[in-house]
A and B are shown apart, each in its own frame.
Chain A
Amino acid sequence: MSATRSDPETLSVLDRPNSYIGKTVPRPNLDRLLQGRGTYVSDIELPRMAHVVFLRSPHAHAKIMGIDVAAARRMPGVIAVVTGKELAVVITPWVGVLSHLKGLKSAPQSAIAVDRVCWQGEAVAAIVATSRAAAEDAAEYVAVQYEELEAATDMRTALDPATPVIHASLGDNLAFERIHEAGAVDQALAESDAVVEANFVFGRHTGVTLEPRSVVADWNAAEARLTIYQGTQAPHMVQNIAALHLGLRESQVRVVCKDVGGSFGIKVHIYADEMATYALAKLLRRPIKFVADRVESFNTDIHARDHRCKGKIGVKRDGTITAFEIDDLTGIGPYSMYPRTSAIEANQVVNLVGGPYTNKNYRARARVVFQNKNVMCQYRAVGHPIACSVTEGLVDLAALKIGMDPVEIRRRNLIADDAYPCASPSGLRFEQLSHHASLTKIVEMMDYQMLRAEQARLRKDGIFRGIGIASFIEVTNPSAAFYGVGGARISSQDGVAVRLDAQGSVICQTSITEQGQGSESLTAQIVGSVLGVSMDRVRVILGDTDMTPYGGGTWASRGAGIGGEAALQATKVLRQNILDVAAAILQSSPAELDIVNNAVVSASDGAPRIELNELARIVYFRPDTLPPGIQPELMATRHFVPREYPFAFTNGVQAAWVEVDTDTGFVRLLRHWVVEDCGTIINPQLVDEQIRGGVVQGLGAALFEKCIYDDRGQLTNANMADYLVPMSGEMPDIDVGHVVSPTRESELGAKGAGEAGTAGTAAAVTNAVNDALTPFETIITEIPLTPRVILTALGKI
């Protein structure tokens, strides 16, 4: 246990007068977005800026026999038409592997395909013109000769000898395999009173950020410097990768990230078309803008969760879970994504299955295979919805088999709240979780017994309602164990610099980024509280590699827990520095002084001594009046990364109350509850809204969202009319409750909250649908739960 926690006998820095910690305050600077005056990348225009449109392959797998660009080059407004071969002169290919994922393999990927395309939507040429419309016009005149190759699209046959190997140099289509064995599974299953098996099927879906991926890349040939304006979650990662593949030093690349129209993990990766845009800027020596349209977003934004998982659970008559066994298969497209790789999702499934429970017997296999479909990679709550659906689906099946209530079987198997620290059978280490407190709370919130009575009453009238419960754990605050140890240059530490300006306000530069979660707000709340200034005096600067300390950014639920702690520690130093100066000015001692409401006051009675703006005036303009030997440092920088635990696990439980129309197969969401434990809550409203947004994203996956491919690898629903997302009309109100177990690894005590909502939703809804359909003796283990899936299960179609 780390010893950074303050003495419990004294007030922590978070308990100071007028603290903003734990308070709902509006996020700063929202008027910009409310008035339509934000700066999203799609809004940016630079002098001499040209627009790039990518011609994309209509085939899932084909050889490029020739590209004739002559006619396109003659079109009005066209500046250049660039093929993969031509672009390869300025940018090198990459391979998406990490050394800690043993055996993971992938093939070199180019910014633009050179002699072969491996999925429908891979770029084969870039058309650069004075406007996007002109570039699109010209794209029609690029003639590409393809020789179509057989496409490997079904993950179930990817490893069959008859299936074509997508990358001959790799030998087969197996990208990664992990096998894990803990305890004595066979013996445990043999000694069980019941063993239940099921095949879980998950629809491939995607993030559908409302603002598509966008980038403006500006190469200044005279400065030999590339400025990349991009809606990214990880500016320093983009800086490193762009520099590496363009043959530049990192100092020659600046990444600026202003407003971002949604990310959810979609915008944390390096995409080939974005790399191509950087390269085109360098090649053509001018600013180039790329904004994906919606069709290419569906075809090229990473997809996720395309898994088929066989699961098995053993249980005793008293409800004791004896073992979990899973065999997971996932198809990731033709390349492992760069630089985070496409093996993490399956790896997480192996890590997380069974995680909430005391059971020690666990066997898992996960296989990750290549396909000629769009790439898959990390998307909000990576792997969690799969692991949670499998685990919680199996637990409900076991309960059904032995005739036990779903709440009761969980009570009997969840790790006790006083059993921590402990570890899971997959080796995850838990510092402090609160499964039982959370379950107790949600049962109260939803009035479980009343709902059960209502369910029984309505069933007599032919109305089929169901309750679904899903306990979950969530990975947050990742240390270097996630990526750094595997060789990726993705920072797990974050930095914050705070300084007092000449009017006594605070400027805070942080390496975490904002995509609407509230990074700016939580940073200002922490700085204001620790320093003793009002939030309107704190200006937070994020998203600029020239302007902020070096750090990871915002992903994997790390902004508050890691960036927030760095802000806290930096502000403590600034506060001490200010008190040192104040003591010199006031001929007092720092211990006798405090900072409250933008002024230095006497610690004993709160009497005002000197306003911060007056102190700043003296320091910056009349340092000659300070005592000799005093050199004020009104700027402080601190960095933070968790060291004790590789991840700060959070936990929670979700419950769904649904009604299934057995004639139409429609599922109506009546109510949804979540209790979660993210440790210290900095801003309750922001946490609740992260949870709600995450739940609705999970509801989309549970009920609607699926990228539908045909067997030739054609994505057949690449538009928002055919790919359904949750809209306000179908979504329920969501009640959110909290249990608070702060992590002791930081003084702040915050863990992440961004992904908990998405982690358990599909599991809760699927369990609720199965609960509703109990009278029909059918079990559904496939999402999305479309009317077709439900009516098929009911034998009606």
Chain B
Amino acid sequence: MTAPVAISLSVNGERVEARILPRLNLADFLREHLKLTGTHLGCEHGVCGACTVRVGGEIVRSCLMLAVQASGTAVETIEGLSDSGEIADLQAAFRDRNALQCGFCTPGMLMAAQDLLREKHMPSRDEIREHLSGNYCRCTGYQAIVDAVEMTARSRVESDA
């Protein structure tokens, strides 16, 4: 173990300064230090996708990134995307389509879905399935999630028209 190091970053638009051990991963930093518990830990080895957050606009597995690596970046979590209203329509589609059961995968799933919808306006069902294929959901069987993402894409395209 080495000594704590200082980091400085933006989390959901808020300036955060902290002294942390270099071995601390970003997920634990968000959950334990900032109490942003919407970022979930399912496997802690980068497979399940529950800990997906946005760093510098790109989605990452926060369990595979050290918190010190996030110094100087802008980190966005499910709490931030919820409060800004950025994914309100996607969340509503998930609710209406029952695209969540236990909800543990949901923050990561929403992060990955929004990432796809920012990249591609009207993805096919296969493209949705492909883009979400790094996010494990044991409850739904995925179809409702694919439906909700597809519904959101369609309504966004229609409201842009």
Contact = CB atoms under 8 A, between A and B. Distances in A.
Interface of A: 26-27, 30-38, 40, 42-43, 133, 137, 207-212, 259-264, 293-294, 515-518, 685-686, 689, 692-697, 719-721, 725-731, 733-734, 757
B45 to A, nearest CB: 6
The residue in A30, A210, A259 that gathers the most chain B C-beta atoms within 10 A of its C-beta is A210
Given A689-B140, A733-B143, 7 more contacts: A26-B95, A33-B102, A210-B42, A518-B98, A727-B134, A727-B142, A729-B133
B101 interface: yes
A618 B129 CA distance: 56
B114 interface: no
A517 B143 contact: no
Interface string B29-50: 0010000111111111101101
7 pairs of A and B residues whose beta carbons are closest in the complex? A36-B38, A33-B103, A516-B101, A261-B104, A696-B141, A516-B102, A729-B133
A515 B102 CA distance: 5
A445 to B, nearest CB: 16
Nearest to B138: A262
A686 B97 CA distance: 9
Contacts of A40: 37, 40, 104
B152 interface: no
B26 to A, nearest CB: 15
A516 B139 contact: yes
A34 B39 CA distance: 11
Contacts of A725: 136, 138
B146 to A, nearest CB: 7
The winner among B91, B110, B138 for most chain A CB atoms within 10 A is: B138
Contacts of A293: 44
B130 A729 contact: yes
B113 to A, nearest CB: 11
A33 B100 contact: yes
B137 interface: yes
A36 B39 contact: yes
Given A210-B105, A693-B101, A728-B146, A37 B38 contact: yes
B37 A36 contact: yes
14 contacts: A33-B102, A34-B94, A35-B38, A36-B37, A40-B104, A210-B105, A293-B44, A516-B100, A686-B98, A693-B141, A727-B135, A729-B133, A734-B143, A757-B141
Contact of B78 (A35, A133, A137, A757): A35
Contact of B133 (A35, A721, A728, A757): A728
Interface string B116-128: 0000000001001
Nearest to A722: B47
Contacts of B137: 210, 728
A730 B146 CA distance: 13
B75 interface: no
B144 interface: yes
Nearest to B21: A133
B132 interface: yes
Nearest to B96: A26
B50 A210 contact: yes
B109 to A, nearest CB: 9
A692 B50 contact: no
A66 B145 CA distance: 52
B44 A261 contact: no
Contacts of A36: 36-40, 77-79, 82, 106-107
B38 A31 contact: no
Contact of B95 (A34, A294, A515): A34
Contacts of B101: 262, 515-518, 689, 693
A353 B110 CA distance: 42
Contacts of B129: 728-729, 731
A293 B135 CA distance: 18
Given A210-B102, A210-B136, A695 B141 contact: yes
B47 A720 contact: yes
Contact of B48 (A26, A43, A210): A210
A31 B92 CA distance: 9
A689 B144 contact: yes
Which has the most chain B C-beta neighbours within 10 Å: A137, A727, A729? Answer: A727
Interface in B1-37: 1, 21, 23, 31, 36-37
Contacts of A696: 140-142
A724 to B, nearest CB: 10
A692 B45 contact: no
Contacts of A694: 141
B143 to A, nearest CB: 5
Contacts of A692: 140-141, 143-144
Contacts of A686: 98
A715 to B, nearest CB: 16
A262 B136 CA distance: 12
